[in-house]
Structure 1
Amino acid sequence: MINTKERSNSRLIACCLVFFSIYSFSVCLAQVKKNLVEFTNPIGKGADPWVIRHNGYYYVCQSNGDINSKGISIRKSDKLSQLGKPVTVWNAPDEGWNSSQIWAPELHYFNKKWYIYYAAGKAGPPYIHQRSGVLESVTDDPQGEYVDKGILNTGTDTVNETGTIWAIDVNVGYIGGKLYAVWSGWEQNATTDKTSQHLYIAEMSNPWTISSARVKISSPDQPWEQGGPLDLNEGPQFLMREGKVFIIYSTRESWTPEYRLAQLKLKDPSKTPLDAGNWEKSGPVFQGTAKVLGTGHASFTQSPDGKEWWIFYHTKKSKTPGWDRDLRLQKFNWRADGSPDFGLPIPAGILIPVPSGEY
């Protein structure tokens, strides 16, 4: 027979078990909720992040590995703040102009087909062989099979075996109903990769064909674009909203903490973007701090509900020159004049609310 004292102890133990079970559940629930409504940077490893939103999913396109990559993968996720599992969709051939050095691929969707724009070279370093090409999807599945549509005409060089001029970081977009490509390139081919890079634009007759002569629209001619071992403009990205057209590009050196973003604005969208005088430069518009190094090569998208704009970019992990980088994400706003306001990069480990509509 259980005495009064034993009965009292049993009740105390039972009450304690209930209390700690509720407490543990509450702590667990709070952590789950925290993970659902907040995230921290970085969200992944790598460089040159490209993201596109399509039919309720986010697709992130990247080269496989470091600067010496030989393949391209695509991630799929219903959450912008969480990267999906990478699926390799294309591997470089064993030989030819695009057999190695696969850089900065971008995924675009036109006429129920997916297109990947990428840079590649037959060898390197030195990285003097980089050219740009296009892949086309066999189906409407961005993680499916692709076929090679060939090299883009990013400038004519009849002496070179490819017939073209050095070019990387091709981005494409429609302006006034016409398709344009913008990229980073050299004025002419050189025997050293210590060559200054400029931004060029040209019209396209279809997603794999540049049909006009290239026009140089930017050179590293401003004080905040100069001062390092190599002056360059690269990583151009069209950013369009409410009839206004911007190109957000990277300047300074990608392997240093000084990498940063600058801006070109199309002064009159009713006039041709092939007129260099129709572009107005400003910057820097987004740059590193003591805690965030080398902010650059960004892409842009909206939250799941379309209410917010987000910038997806990479940073350096240390001040040591090199290409060890990670991926970061943060919301940005728009100024009264219609230009983007990126603010300051958010340091690693700081809690950030997930994109609107994601929770």
Structure 2
Amino acid sequence: MIHRYVIAGALCLLVSGSYPVSAKAIYRQNLLMDTTFTNPVGGGADPWVIKDGGYYYVCLSAGNNGVSHITVSKSTSLTKIGPRKIVWTAPASGWNSHCVWAPELHRIGKKWYIYYAAGQSGPPYKYQRSGVLESVTDDPQGEYIDKGMLKTGADPNDPTGTIWAIDLTVTSIRGKLYAVWSGWEQNASTDKTSQHLYMARMSNPWTISSERVKISSPDQPWETGGPLDLNEGPEFLKHDGKVFIIYSTRESWTPQYRLGMLMLKDDKKSPMDATNWIKKGPVFRGTKEVLGPGHASFTTSPDGKEWWIFYHAKKTTKPGWARNLRLQKFTWDKDGNPVFGTPVPAGIPIPLPSGEKQE
């Protein structure tokens, strides 16, 4: 469809005597605008997207005058984030009153659950723990109740009784619910502490029911070499019967942030067995144009024919957490493994997700 502003522009050019070439250029430009988008698609960090009932819900943390919030947006378009509605505000005091990080929205049964990290204060960020909210209704933008802190490792010497943990995510494998998160081996007096990936069984969406098992440490050359070696931001990715954990490694405040991958060798064997995971990486890393891509989530196009990665990248080379949100399509190789390719620079036109119409 040729929009009215294209026709008007063409008529003006006809009057000026330059219609044949310039009108075509304008038409091509506007056709490109109707069929493509460019990164970044928004501001923020640790983007989480979930597709449900024809809508994309994006869950993000936010702050206002020192008060932390969790927001959920709703849109029929993957590339257009809808208005962000505050669904939860951190309490004025307590273990989760500050530093709300990386919330994730999951539908489990008939309820929605938001997993998030928070602390009693910070910086330093040595108090971070993981918690969960449960929806009161089946509306992901509705009211939530706080189900409390998750027991991500026991520490009887700590006031909370548990061990530092962030970026918790969940999934079902062969009918059993599991949690994976980034944590410390033990609580420490400094946040300059290495992070590992841990896994545990859950008896329900708000209760970890087993001891944690370490399934990954920053032990490969592409995971080490910076001021603080980290494994964090784990996210499950499932495709054709295969189970992957795509996680972030190196330091989130540097351009060296990147993605690694764990693949479950045999889903008939326990995912709690660290030897049942194969590590590969980096599977997605920065360039001179795109700095420190990491903490991704995954979804499909509106018609379900394409897979898309939703991630954040740094705005500058300067150490810090000024970041924005980006999308791009990825594919699968002949062995069924994800191929993320190279991050597309900002401003470069990317075809819209299959089945999406520009709003």
Alpha-carbon distance in 2 for matches of 1:204, 1:327: 31
Alignment of 1:34-73 (within 5 A): 34-65=32-63, 70-73=68-71
Match of 1:356 in 2: 354
Match of 1:105 in 2: 103
Alpha-carbon distance in 1 for matches of 2:242, 2:112: 25
Alpha-carbon distance in 1 for matches of 2:267, 2:324: 35
Match of 1:8 in 2: none
Residue among 81, 84, 98 paired with 1:83: 81
Alpha-carbon distance in 2 for matches of 1:338, 1:65: 40
Which amino acid letter does the alignment assign opposite residue 203 of structure 1?
Answer: R
Asked if the contact 1:128/1:191 (under 8 Å) is kept, the reply is yes
SS at match of 1:64: strand
Match of 1:336 in 2: 334
Q: Which runs of at least 4 in structure 1 moved beyond 2 Å after TM superposition?
A: 13-36
Alignment of 1:307-326 (within 5 A): 307-326=305-324
Q: Using the TM superposition, give the Cα deviation of residue 28 of structure 1 relative to its aligned residue in structure 2, in angstroms.
A: 7.4
SS at match of 2:271: coil
Paired residue total: 346
Match of 2:92 in 1: 94
Which amino acid letter does the alignment assign opposite residue 351 of structure 1?
Answer: P
Deviations 1:145-191 (A, max 9, x none): 10000000100011111110000000110111111100000000000
Q: Using the TM superposition, give the Cα deviation of residue 36 of structure 1 relative to its aligned residue in structure 2, in angstroms.
A: 2.8
Asked if the contact 2:67/2:89 (under 8 Å) is kept, the reply is no
Deviations 1:305-338 (A, max 9, x none): 0000000000001110000000000000001111
Alpha-carbon distance in 1 for matches of 2:120, 2:12: 72
Residue among 256, 273, 276 paired with 1:275: 273
Q: Using the TM superposition, give the Cα deviation of residue 37 of structure 1 relative to its aligned residue in structure 2, in angstroms.
A: 1.2
Alpha-carbon distance in 1 for matches of 2:257, 2:14: 57
Deviations 1:56-77 (A, max 9, x none): 00000000049x7611001111
Which amino acid letter does the alignment assign opposite residue 139 of structure 1?
Answer: T
Alignment of 1:185-196 (within 5 A): 185-196=183-194
Asked if the contact 1:157/1:163 (under 8 Å) is kept, the reply is yes
Alignment of 1:165-204 (within 5 A): 165-204=163-202
Alpha-carbon distance in 2 for matches of 1:190, 1:293: 30
Match of 2:8 in 1: none
Q: Using the TM superposition, give the Cα deviation of residue 96 of structure 1 relative to its aligned residue in structure 2, in angstroms.
A: 0.3
Which amino acid letter does the alignment assign opposite residue 57 of structure 1?
Answer: Y
Match of 1:244 in 2: 242
Q: Using the TM superposition, give the Cα deviation of residue 33 of structure 1 relative to its aligned residue in structure 2, in angstroms.
A: 3.9
Q: Using the TM superposition, give the Cα deviation of residue 16 of structure 1 relative to its aligned residue in structure 2, in angstroms.
A: 6.2
Asked if the contact 1:134/1:149 (under 8 Å) is kept, the reply is yes
Q: Please report the RMSD computed on the Cα atoms of aligned residues, expressed in angstroms.
A: 2.2
SS at match of 2:157: coil
Alpha-carbon distance in 2 for matches of 1:117, 1:63: 11
Distance verdict in 2 for CA 1:24–1:153, change over 3 Å? same
Q: Using the TM superposition, give the Cα deviation of residue 112 of structure 1 relative to its aligned residue in structure 2, in angstroms.
A: 1.5
Asked if the contact 1:69/1:103 (under 8 Å) is kept, the reply is no
Q: Using the TM superposition, give the Cα deviation of residue 35 of structure 1 relative to its aligned residue in structure 2, in angstroms.
A: 2.9
Match of 1:226 in 2: 224
Asked if the contact 1:60/1:76 (under 8 Å) is kept, the reply is yes
SS at match of 1:356: coil
Asked if the contact 1:311/1:331 (under 8 Å) is kept, the reply is yes
Which residues of structure 1 form unaligned runs of 5+? 1-12
Match of 1:208 in 2: 206
Please report the TM-score for the alignment, with normalisation by the length of structure 2: 0.92
Larger Rg: 1
Alpha-carbon distance in 2 for matches of 1:332, 1:272: 28
Which residues of structure 2 form unaligned runs of 5+? 1-10
Residue among 120, 133, 145 paired with 1:135: 133
Please report the TM-score for the alignment, with normalisation by the length of structure 1: 0.92
